[in-house]
Amino acid sequence: MNESGCTTEEGLRRELVRFSRWLSRLGFTPGTSGNLSVRLDSRRLLVTPTGVSKGMVKASDMVIVDLHGRLLAGSRKVTSEISMHLAVYGQRQDVGAVVHSHPPTATAFACSGRALDEILCQEAVMTVGAVPLASYATTGTAEVAASMRPFISEHDAILLENHGAVSYGVTLLEAFMKMETVEHLAHVALVAHQLGSARPLGRDQVQQLQSARTKYVENVQEEGLSPQSGKEQAEHIAIEIPENVI
């Protein structure tokens, strides 16, 4: 289901095209890199194919796979990175869409062996929380999924060492916005440290923001703006608060 409540295959194909093009315009999917997927039902996924620019992909290019990554329908080949999508869907029944891309600043953090786990701004707490770094794994292998598994249940976005990032949510819009936010937070962290006076939020500040976020999600749910987002979604986002934070 997307943000407008679309559940038809035709509608979801159009949504994959739309968000693929947005990622391309942001510079997150250079060449033919990156991939997106969405649940069709409890047994099938609709996925962008391998070897196609996300800026030029068409609705007819999408492929359908089962929860083992086997091709069920489509004239193109399944992305070799399907295992990371399967890992997320396998551990998170609440997830309806997965986005993998290479946002430049966030990927630079991943290539430097640095997670985005220093909470520098309020937006981090209110959105994706801490973004961990999965250990190095060769792209297109099962190692990628294995490196992500320790983090999937407690996080909504993960950096992949020397590779890129993956984000996920109830809808494609939600997964896309989390990827966009990861890049924003990476840019903020980079500039804050370049300025030489980065000031992480303290424990009390983070806890106050977590309480505010829970209330916000509950209000949104009551308004019916995000029907599948609830209190449990707010609570599962992990934010580690260092013991030495003042």
Report the sign of the C-alpha dihedral through residues 46, 50, 53, 58, in that order: negative
CA 39 to CA 36: how far, in whole Å?
11
Residues ≥6 apart with Cβ < 8 Å to 237 = 128, 129, 154, 155, 156
81 assigned to active site:
yes
The amino acid occupying position 121 is C
Strand pairing report for 164-169 and 97-101? antiparallel
CA 127 to CA 70: how far, in whole Å?
33
> At 134, is the secondary structure helix, strand, or coil?
strand
Give yes or no for a contact between 237 and 128, defined as CB atoms under 8 angstroms apart. yes
Options 3, 9, 15, 81, the catalytic residue: 81
- Cα 51 from chain centre: 21
Main-chain phi, psi angles of 108, to 5 degrees: -65, -40
In sequence order, what E strands does 5-43 have?
35-39
Give yes or no for a contact between 17 and 50, defined as CB atoms under 8 angstroms apart. no
**Structure-token match 């903020």, residue found:** 188
Residues annotated as part of the active site: 81
